[in-house]
Amino acid sequence: MDTVTLTTASGVDLFAMLGTVLWYALRIGAAVQVLPVMGGQTMPARARLILTLALSAAMSTVLPAPPPMGVDAATVLGVVREFTVGISIGLMLRLAFEAGQLAGELVSQGMGLSFATLADPLSGASSPVLSQWFYLVFGLLFFTLDGHLALVELLAGSYGGVPVGAALPDPLALLGAVPAFFGHCLRAGVLLALPVMMALLAVNIAFGVLARAASQLNPIAIGLPVALLVGLVLLCLLATELQGPVQGLFDDAFSAARGLTG
């Protein structure tokens, strides 16, 4: 084989490898784009691109190569399908973090901190400080429980259920899985905040009764600092018990994401 032929063959192999990596990058990049902690606006676009290409290149060496595709409508549908599966997987994990932010908003109402807001790294909008606290706790627990490794395993396993170029097993189930899990996350967020909410409600009722009994007592000047102090103490106690419920919520999120790809 002469030098020209060898160079041409090497170039063809290189473009084939690049095409394989790009096909895997579609699904992985769509998932990273909506993932909490590891994606979205919490990471720069360049970092997300590097992470996507690194994961795609690594998976392309152990997963089967995608079938050859031409420039036609089938290829366009394949690209849309890859984006759909990736975004659905990322949304499942994002909804788990939204449960924590919902708990933070509910607790902040009882503590009188609903007016203290910060920029939300997930959506870019403003959210209460306690929502950001729950978000950081969820993020720390995600890495502590090796959620990032489970995420890589989930993305690699999704190609076994829905390979590149294959049709979705049940599109209606895919569309209905995210709203179904959203209700579960709402319930989990309320249950996380419920003990602190009930305690703060009792504190506010007690100061309301005292204000009616003694008009000299100002419920805002006295009750608000006490509710804030009680809420901070309860949050410290809650932080020691969060690992079990959050781990269960993450397990449910990964199970729901696995169910998307059969």
**Share in percent of the chain as helix, strand, coil (round to 5):** 75, 0, 20
Where residue 74 falls (left for φ over 0; alpha for ψ -120 to 50; beta otherwise) is alpha
- Greater confidence (125 vs 95) lies with 95
Task: Count CB-CB contacts under 10 A for residue 10.
Answer: 10
pLDDT at residue number 12:
45
d(CA 102, CA 104): 5
pLDDT at residue number 3:
47
pLDDT at 175 over 80: no
- Greater confidence (19 vs 200) lies with 200
Reading the block at residue 153, the tokens are 């395993």
Percent of the chain scoring above 90 in pLDDT: 0
Q: Residues 39, 40, 41, 44: what is their CA dihedral angle, to the nearest 10 degrees? A: 50
Answer yes or no: are the C-beta atoms of 126 and 119 closer than 8 Å.
yes
Reading the block at residue 78, the tokens are 């394949």
Within 13 Å and on the Cβ side, how many CA atoms surround 58?
11
Reading the block at residue 112, the tokens are 């009188």
pLDDT digits (tens, 9 = 90+) for 124-173: 667 778 888 888 889 899 988 888 888 888 888 888 877 887 777 666 66
Domain that holds residue 57: 3-260
Element (H, E) at 179: helix 171-213
pLDDT digits (tens, 9 = 90+) for 200-224: 888 878 877 777 776 666 666 677 7
Number of domains making up the chain:
1
